[in-house]
Amino acid sequence: MEEDDAQKSIRGACLCGAVVFECVGAPVHFNLCHCTMCQKFHGAMLGPYVWFKAAQVTMVQGHDYESIYDSSQWASRSFCRRCGSSLRYIYHKEPDMRFMAAGIFEGDIGLKPVRHIFVKDKCAWFEIEDGLPQVAAWVQSDLPEAIANTPTEDS
Ligand SMILES: [Zn+2]
Ligand SMILES: [Zn+2]
């Protein structure tokens, strides 16, 4: 009994539970970003992001708790202002894409990352041993058409 991918939904919430997202259908992409801004923002060795089209993502609750920080000229990042959880990456050149911090999703979401990006900035104490493709910064060659306009700057 397989559930149709198009109907499958996954739920994401911050640590305190104030902000809740629901994402419906198969994601566009899932990457692991090693840029220094992701390291800082997540307080971790990398930033894991699951990409969805805007229409696939609903904020179920917590609009008043999502704070947005402009981390560069081309992107912003959001977090829960009550518990500090990382929530989303907002890329201004792709306003129809939602880059969701993978750690907010609950349980086994049935998704695996596709590749590592910005490996040139990887932190020294972490080794990549999962065999996934790695790119120094960012390349668009193997990405879907919907996200063909991609950043060349550090994310
Ligand atoms: Zn919270
Ligand atoms: Zn990054």
Residue 33 Cα to ligand 2 midpoint, Å, equals 4
- Ligand 2 is an ion; its neighbours by CB within 5 Å are 33, 35, 38, 47, 155
Q: Which ligand is nearest to the CA of 21?
A: 1
Q: Which ligand is nearest to the CA of 33?
A: 2
- Residue 115 belongs to some domain of the structure: yes
CATH code (residue 143) = 2.170.150.70
What is the pTM for the complete model shown?
0.86
**Contacts (Cβ under 8 Å, ≥6 apart) of 87:** 14, 19, 21, 66, 78, 79, 80, 100, 101, 104
Give 3-60 pLDDT, tens digit per residue: 555 578 999 999 999 999 999 999 999 999 999 999 999 999 999 999 999 999 999 9
C-alpha 37 chain-centroid distance: 13
- Residue 140 belongs to some domain of the structure: yes
The reported pLDDT for the residue numbered 142 is 54
Residue 2 Cα to ligand 2 midpoint, Å, equals 34
- Residue 116 belongs to some domain of the structure: yes
HSE toward the beta carbon, residue 40, CA cutoff 13 A: 8
CA–CA separation, 95 and 33 (whole Å): 19
The conformation of residue 96, written as its DSSP 8-state character, comes to: T
Domain total for the chain? 1
Could you list the residue range(s) of the whole structural domain that residue 65 is in? Answer: 8-147
Question: Among 44-48, 59-63, 65-69, 106-110, which stretch is predicted with the lowest mean pLDDT?
Answer: 106-110
Judge whether 31 and 47 are in contact, CB under 8 Å: no
- Residue 3 belongs to some domain of the structure: no
